Amino acid sequence: MAVLLCAACAERGSGAAPGTTGPATAAGDALTVEVDRGDGSPVERYTLTCGDVPGGDHPDPAGACAHLAGLDDPFAAPPTDRACTEVYGGPQTARVTGTWRGAPVDRDHARTDGCRIAEWDALGPLLPGPVGVVDQLPD
């Protein structure tokens, strides 16, 4: 819902034509993901390497690498002149560091407004979903 309100806030560009795998990842693509779920549990730390064979201790290295490879620039800095909905998406925070397509990555993520929720969600399987969200609709 918040993502729909702020769909223009996060570009989910896909450099791939339908049926293709998207822009290639570099052999040295390596990311570290630190996630604080905001519920008092310890910070989770994952590593992810992409290239010919996705690896690391991320829960879904193949899915995360494939998703990121399909985005034009998943770690681009957000525009400074955007307007964001005042929607709180939860206490989760994350930091992603490392390299992607040969460029350094150092981005903080949160779910504190509509734009930041959209940025988080655009990273797909790289970051976990919000705490307490159930995918099923009530009967």
Could you tell me which CATH class the domain 29-78+85-122 is placed in? alpha beta
* CA separation for the pair 64, 111 (Å, rounded): 19
pLDDT at residue 135 in the model: 47
Domain extents in the chain: 29-78+85-122
Mean pLDDT by 10 residues, the chain (139 residues): 40 37 61 95 96 94 96 93 93 97 96 94 90 50
pLDDT at residue 23 in the model: 47
Residues whose CB falls within 8 Å of the CB of residue 110, separated by 6 or more in sequence, listed in order: 92, 93, 94, 116, 120
